[in-house]
Amino acid sequence: MNVANGAAKGRETKPARLHLDDDRVWLPARVEQDATYDILLNDQHVWSLQPARDAAGPSGNQRVEWPSALRRYLRGHADVAFREHVAGTVLATTSHVFGDAADRTVRVTDQHGNALILDKWGRLIRPLASDADELVDELVERLLEMMGTILQRTGLPVFLCYGTLLGAVRDGRFIGHDNDVDIAYASAESHPVDIVREGFRVERALSAAGWKVRRGSGVRLNISIALSDGSVRFVDVFSANWVEGVLYIPSDLGVRLPRETVLPLGTVTLHGREVPAPHDPESVLAATYGERWRVPDPSFRYDSPRSLHRRFNGWYGGLITGRKHWGRFAAAAAGSVPDEPTPFARWVAEQYPSARPLVDLGAGTGRDTLWFAGQGRQVTAVDYVPRSVLKALRERAARRRRTGPKVSVEVLNLSDLRAVLAFGARLSRSDEPVDLYARFLLHGMHRQGRDHVFRLASMSLRRGGFLFLEFRTRQDRRRRKTFSGPRNYLAPRRVRSQIERAGGEVVFQTQGTGLAPFRDEDPHVCRMVVRWSRDTGGATS
């Protein structure tokens, strides 16, 4: 090779200058639209993207917004690199000071200093790659123990699936940017009702063996495993079942694969241990991730059809929809929302005094729950946020019980019709009628969820009692907000129409500003009081 050619090659491989600001990154001029690229901050891989899916603008001038989960970390100096993921070639670099904070260094870590990375759902997670080898070995040992528990106590074959199977087959180890473990058991049933019953049998078996279990749906469990360093890792346990020749593994796989693809089980190597796996893991992975499954892609996202998700929800119900967002929201708000009751709670108590039990739907931080209890009412707080938030509310409620009425806390997903009907049946058979209280709940739900709230009210309030509603209206869309988050700004006339179709009668309605001020926010809201029975008892307005 002559010197001139060598120099030219060296210039070609030198990284270009990366252009970015505090809001966005401009991609290098020549990128492959279907390839995966990484963003590194101070040599830490924090984000992966695919131009065709994630970038905006014409080819040669494409840009991506900094993900919302990363933004609060973007303050200080950072050396930024844009890297091709598979080959590891750095295509462009730059240095940038975010937020005019030159005296700081950008670090994307948790409170213990562990590196975080953006996952396919847009959340920052602590990847398995950050764990020491001895912790990974411990996790694999506990995983095998858990799989043995299911097999021994239920007789159901258990195997690796999804990303855990992918990492084992491709590299013999966990995928570095994963943060949990996926396994499935091969169902012995073929009808959705029987499959759900079987799922509860698996849960009972795991709980009886001492595993910490949280249910996500009729066929999905989440197990928390505490490791020796005090950290916690999670294992998702799915049902793999065949219905009319189609293999379903919620919530993203529904393909026509015969049982022989999975059973009898084989094994794969995972961090030096032989672990149960499908009989033909390559076929399962191709059906799950496509024919390019062997190419690493940390930006991968499932493109499951909506019809599949609707089928899963109809067959198996679910406690997952929106829970992660509202869990983060409640956890963040817990330290900044005051303990005193909202103006709406005070208004309800003044205008509609009652000794009836009250059910606080979407209780959140529990500020109104505990205040109503302090006024002498028996209150049930209903929400479906993660255990940490519910635990805090339960602890506060327990302290309240020593000095006042009983407060109970229940986990309920109002988007799950099965759960709503079961809860409504319980309330309809309670010793006395109840009131339902739903502040700032409706605008955080889709129409189906609102229909479920009114179905619950129809079941619960036929003997008396009221449904108290306060929600954001369309006039609030452009007004200042203290907290960000997805909201559906509602037209009161349409909400009223939904209520009337469910058999309810709106007996009071008002709307405007000045009703729900918080800090420097004064939202435009609507208040409604609804009944399903003429025998309400205790109303003064």
Q: Residues of CATH 3.40.50.150 domain(s) within the chain?
A: 323-531
Structure token digits, residue 209: 């063996």
Confidence of residue 328 (pLDDT cuts 50, 70, 90): low
Angle at 369 between CA 363 and CA 370, to 5 degrees: 140
Query: What pLDDT score does 6 carry?
Result: 41
* 391 — pLDDT class (breaks 50, 70, 90): low
Query: Is the predicted pLDDT of residue 333 greater than 80, yes or no?
Result: no
307/459: higher pLDDT: 459
CA atoms within 13 A of residue 205's CA, in its CB half-sphere = 19
Which CATH architecture describes the domain 15-125?
Sandwich (2.60)
Confidence band of 9 (pLDDT split at 50, 70, 90): very low
Quickly list H helices, 381-491.
387-401, 417-428, 447-460
Residues 450-465 have a mean pLDDT of 96
Residue extent(s) of CATH 2.60.40 domains in the chain: 15-125
| Residues of each domain in the chain carrying CATH 3.30.460.10 | 128-316
The helix (H) or strand (E) run that includes residue 6 is helix 3-13
DSSP 209: T
Alpha carbon of residue 176 to chain centroid: 21
Q: pLDDT tier at 7 (50, 70, 90 boundaries)?
A: very low
Q: Which residue has the higher pLDDT, 385 or 187?
A: 187
User: Residue 496 corresponds to which amino acid?
Assistant: R
Tokens of 194: 């029987």
For 60-109, how does the pLDDT look when each residue is reduced to its tens digit (9 = 90+)?
789 999 998 899 899 999 999 999 998 889 999 999 999 989 999 999 99
pLDDT the model gives residue 208: 96
In the predicted structure, residue 8 carries a pLDDT above the cut 50 = no
* CATH no., domain 323-531: 3.40.50.150
Instruction: Give 499-510 pLDDT, tens digit per residue.
Output: 999 999 999 999
Which range has highest mean pLDDT (129-133, 394-398, 466-470)? 466-470
Fold of the domain spanning 128-316: Beta Polymerase; domain 2 (3.30.460)
Q: How far apart are CA 127 and CA 486, in angstroms?
A: 27
